[in-house]
Chain A
Amino acid sequence: MTNIPKKADILFSAYSVEPYQILKDAMKRKKEDIIQELLDSGLRGRGGAGFPTGMKWKFGAAEKADQKYVICNADEGEPGTFKDKKLLTDVPRKTISGMAICAYVTGATKGFIYLRAEYRYLLASLEKEIEVFEQKAKEFGLDFEIKIFMGAGAYVCGEETALIESMEGKRGEPRNKPPYPIQNGYLGKPTIVNNVETLASVSMVCRLGAEEYKKLGTSDQKGSKLFSISGDSPKEGVHELELGMKVSDFVTEYGDGDTKAIQVGGVAGYCIPRKKFESTIIGEGQTTGGSTLIFNSTRSMYRVLHNYLDFYAEESCGQCTPCRVGCQQLLKGIEAVKAGTKPPKYLDQLMKLSNTMNLTSKCGLGQSVTNSFTTIVENFREEMIF
Chain B
Amino acid sequence: MTNITLKIDNVDVTVEKGTSILDAAKKVDIRIPTLCHHEDLCIAGNCRICVVEQIGKHTLTASCATPAEDGMEIKTSSPKIRKARKDIMSLLVSEHNTQCTTCYRSTNCELQDLAAEYNIDNETYLSVLKPNLEIDKSSWSIEKDDSKCIRCQRCVRTCADIQGVNALAVTEKGNEMRVSTFMHLTMNEIVCTNCGQCITHCPTGALTERRYYDEIWDAIDDPDKHVVVNTAPSVRVALGEMFGYEVGTQVTGQMVTALKKMGFDAVLDTDFAADLTIIEEGHELLARLKAALVDKDPNIKLPMITSCSPGWVKFIEHMYPNHLGHLSTCKSPQQMFGAAVKTYYAEKKGIDPSKIVCVAGMPCAAKKYEANRPEMRSSGYQDIDAGLTTREIGHMIKQSGLDFKDLENGEFDSLMGESTGAGVIFGATGGVMEAALRTVYAVITGRPVPFERLNITPVRGLKGIKEAGIKFENCLPEYSWLEGVEAKVAIAHGLTNARVIMDEVAAGTSPYHFIEIMACPGGCIGGGGQPIPTTDAVRIKRTEAIYKEDMEKPIRMSHENPEITEIYEKFLKAPLGEKSHKLLHTKYRTRKRY
Contact = CB atoms under 8 A, between A and B. Distances in A.
A352 B86 CA distance: 12
Contacts of B45: 176, 320, 362
A367 B177 CA distance: 19
Given A332-B128, A360-B48, A325 B173 contact: no
Given A319-B177, A359-B80, A178 B126 contact: no
Contacts of A359: 51, 58-60, 80, 84
A345 B356 CA distance: 66
Given A319-B153, A320-B46, A325-B94, A358 B175 contact: no
B66 A353 contact: no
B173 A316 contact: yes
A243 interface: no
Contacts of B153: 319
Interface residues of B, number: 39
Contacts of B43: 176
Contacts of A327: 174-175
A356 to B, nearest CB: 4
B49 interface: yes
A333 B87 CA distance: 15
A240 interface: no
Q: Which of B58, B128, B172, B175 has its CB near the most chain A CB atoms (within 10 A)?
A: B175
B221 to A, nearest CB: 45
B481 interface: no
Given A325-B92, A329-B94, A362-B48, A315 B173 contact: yes
Nearest to A360: B48
A318 B48 contact: no
Contacts of A318: 151, 170, 172-177
B567 to A, nearest CB: 53
B88 A321 contact: yes
Interface string A341-368: 0100000010011001011111000010
Contact of B124 (A313, A315, A321, A349): A349
Contacts of B67: 178
Among A316, A326, A356: residue with most chain B CB under 10 A: A356
A171 interface: yes
A321 B128 contact: no
A332 B175 CA distance: 12
A262 to B, nearest CB: 26
B72 to A, nearest CB: 12
Contacts of A156: 173
A176 B51 contact: no
B176 A358 contact: no
A319 B169 CA distance: 12
B59 A360 contact: yes
A352 B44 CA distance: 26
Contact of A176 (B62, B84, B172): B62
Given A328-B128, A353-B87, A320 B48 contact: yes
B283 to A, nearest CB: 47
B47 interface: yes
A271 B67 CA distance: 36
A326 B91 contact: yes
A257 B573 CA distance: 101
A321 to B, nearest CB: 5
A321 B65 contact: no
B88 A356 contact: yes
B83 interface: yes
B284 interface: no
Contacts of B126: 329, 332-333, 336, 342
A333 to B, nearest CB: 7
A214 interface: no
Contacts of A27: none
A318 B174 CA distance: 4
A322 interface: yes
Interface in A152-208: 154, 156, 171, 173, 176, 178
A182 to B, nearest CB: 16
B502 to A, nearest CB: 23
A362 B45 CA distance: 8
A321 B203 CA distance: 15
A145 to B, nearest CB: 32
A344 to B, nearest CB: 15
Main secondary structure of the interface of A (DSSP, over half): helix
A56 B357 CA distance: 70
B219 to A, nearest CB: 44
Nearest to B86: A356
A314 interface: yes
A328 B176 CA distance: 10
Interface string B90-101: 011011000000
Contacts, number: 117
A83 interface: no
B125 interface: yes
Interface in A288-332: 312-322, 324-329, 332
Interface string B332-347: 0000000000000000
A176 B48 CA distance: 11
Contacts of A336: 126
A358 B177 CA distance: 20
Nearest to A349: B124
A315 B174 contact: yes
A321 B91 contact: yes
Given A328-B128, A359-B51, A352 B87 contact: yes
Contacts of A333: 125-126
B84 A314 contact: no
A188 to B, nearest CB: 14
A325 B150 CA distance: 10
Nearest to A329: B125
Interface string B156-190: 00000000000001101111110000000000000
A311 to B, nearest CB: 9
Contact of A320 (B47, B59, B170, B175): B47
Nearest to A154: B173
A345 to B, nearest CB: 13
A317 B173 contact: yes
Most buried by A among B47, B65, B91, B153: B91
Contacts of B124: 349
Q: Which of A320, A321, A322 has the most CB of B within 10 A?
A: A321
A350 to B, nearest CB: 9
A313 B60 contact: no
Contacts of B83: 352, 356
A360 B87 CA distance: 10
Contacts of A329: 91, 94, 125-126, 128
A212 B128 CA distance: 54
B25 to A, nearest CB: 17
A312 B173 CA distance: 11
A357 to B, nearest CB: 9
Nearest to B176: A318
User: Nearest 5 CB-CB pairs, A to B?
Assistant: A318-B177, A325-B91, A176-B65, A356-B87, A176-B45
28 contacts: A171-B169, A176-B45, A312-B174, A315-B173, A316-B174, A318-B173, A318-B174, A318-B175, A319-B44, A319-B46, A321-B46, A321-B47, A321-B48, A322-B48, A325-B92, A325-B94, A325-B95, A329-B125, A332-B128, A336-B126, A349-B125, A353-B87, A353-B125, A356-B83, A359-B51, A359-B59, A360-B60, A362-B48
Interface of B: 43-49, 51, 58-60, 62, 65-67, 80, 83-84, 87-88, 91-92, 94-95, 124-126, 128, 150-151, 153, 169-170, 172-177
Given A318-B177, A336-B126, A356-B83, 16 more contacts: A314-B173, A315-B173, A315-B174, A316-B177, A318-B172, A318-B175, A320-B46, A329-B125, A332-B126, A332-B128, A352-B83, A359-B84, A362-B45, A362-B46, A362-B48, A362-B62
